[in-house]
Amino acid sequence: MKNFKKISTLLLAVLMIASCVVLSSCGNEKKADDVLVIGGVGPLTGDYANYGNSVKNGAEIAVAEINAAGGINGFTIRLDFQDSAGVPDSAVAAYGKLMDDDMMVSLGGVLSGETASIVAAAKDDGILILTPSASADDALKGNDAAFRVCFSDSSQGVSAANYIGANNLPKKVAVFYQNDIDYSSGLYKAFEDTADANGIEIVVVESFTSDTDTDFTTQITAIQNSGAEMIFMPIYADEASTFLSQANGKFAEDMLFFGCDGLDGIIGKVADTADCENVLLLTPFAADAEAENVQKFVTAYKNAHNDAIPDQFAADGYDAIYAIKAAMEKANITVEDQDNFNSRIVAAMTEITVNGVTGNMTWEASGETAKDPIVMIIKSGVAQLYNP
């Protein structure tokens, strides 16, 4: 009897271990073969949380739509978005955690600095990185599997100068930029390089750093004395809100302020929407565009987020998920055929065209996207398409 009990106990232990292996219910649970894990990293807390949460919210809308329509070639998408608080080291740690948790495709980072760190860390992994919003020219450097949905900084600077040159906008321009971050410096450099060819006279250049971003009295006075008729400000919405608040009433009522995608969300940053009157911003997305896919997205976003209107970062996150879907379908990756997943989906990126809410997009081997920008203007607290 004692031997029988010992044998029975041993058999029971073996069966329990086998059950854990088969059901993956003991220890770390593994991803099912029909789940496509898409990982993202960005600031969900801290000064730049508005960008990270917008990207995450937009991506979630796309994931919900695609899953409701049957998924991708048998896959159901699971989005795992980690908070970096805008710190590159935290972003790399979050990327590592996502890889440990079976991430198959990465949205990289939301900000350029954290994305550059992730792209470098992922170089030997071969995983597709499709950042929705990291715009610095060097953010994708050194990794052939890295792509972006947004414009690069240099392309925005060039597009801004070209737009001013081609339309009925003032040509006497002051520049106000942040000289200790790549985003602002890169945009200014490209704008400066293209200004002469577009008949733009840069009458004064004023700058600041992260240590001097609370009092812009000196810069405002210099711009007042320059005779500028428009201010080009390739900066983020936080710093722009401070500048615009301090500049309110200091310039002529028809003074124009021209920024790029970093100004998206400025309406929610200023204490008084009158502060951002006549702000122009170069962007790939307009929430009031009449295109059917845009209005479908805007409606879904408002329904999910208490009538909030999506910004360009939310639109970038949304388009990134649909671009991944298009690449999966182009590469014909299915639940039954996942061999060489990474190389197939990366190769497909240069073969797809995506009619997104941020424009009709294709991608180059360099990771850059090709699409046309639009310009918005803020009037009475509302951003609307600008028609020069």
Average pLDDT over residues 51-72: 97
Say if CB 179 and CB 197 are below 8 A apart. Answer: no
**Single-letter amino acid code for the residue at 38:** I
Burial readout 219-237 (b: 16 or more C-beta within 10 A, e: otherwise): bbebbbebebbbbbbbbbb
pLDDT value at 143 more than 50:
yes
Query: Do the first three CATH levels of 35-151+291-372 and 154-283 match, i.e. the same topology?
Result: yes
Alpha carbons 150 and 140: distance in angstroms, whole number: 12
Distance of alpha carbon 135 from alpha carbon 139, whole angstroms: 7
CATH architecture designation of domain 154-283? 3-Layer(aba) Sandwich (3.40)
In which band, very low, low, confident or very high, does the pLDDT at 187 lie, cut at 50, 70 and 90?
A: very high
Beta bridge partners of 131: 148
Say what the pLDDT of residue 11 is.
41
Q: What is the pLDDT of residues 10-44, one digit of tens each?
A: 444 443 434 433 333 344 455 678 999 999 999 99
Q: Give tens-digit pLDDT for 77-97.
A: 999 999 999 999 999 999 999
Residue 129 has pLDDT above 80, yes or no: yes
Please identify which residue in the block is written with the tokens 């809100």: 241
Better-scored residue on pLDDT, 259 or 3 = 259
- Mean pLDDT (the chain) is 91
Distance CA 300, CA 287 (A): 12
| Residue 8: predicted pLDDT | 43
Indicate if the pLDDT at residue 208 is higher than 90.
yes
CATH no. of 35-151+291-372? 3.40.50.2300
Q: Which of 131, 91, 96, 133 is nearest to 114 (CA)?
A: 91
Instruction: Kindly list the domain boundaries of the chain, sorted by start residue.
Output: 35-151+291-372, 154-283
Is a pLDDT exceeding 90 seen at residue 372? Answer: no
Convert the pLDDT of each residue in 219-265 to its tens digit. 999 999 999 999 999 999 999 999 999 999 999 999 999 999 889 88
pLDDT reported for residue 24: 37
pLDDT of residue 374: 87
Measure the CA–CA gap between 287 and 12, rounded to whole angstroms.
61
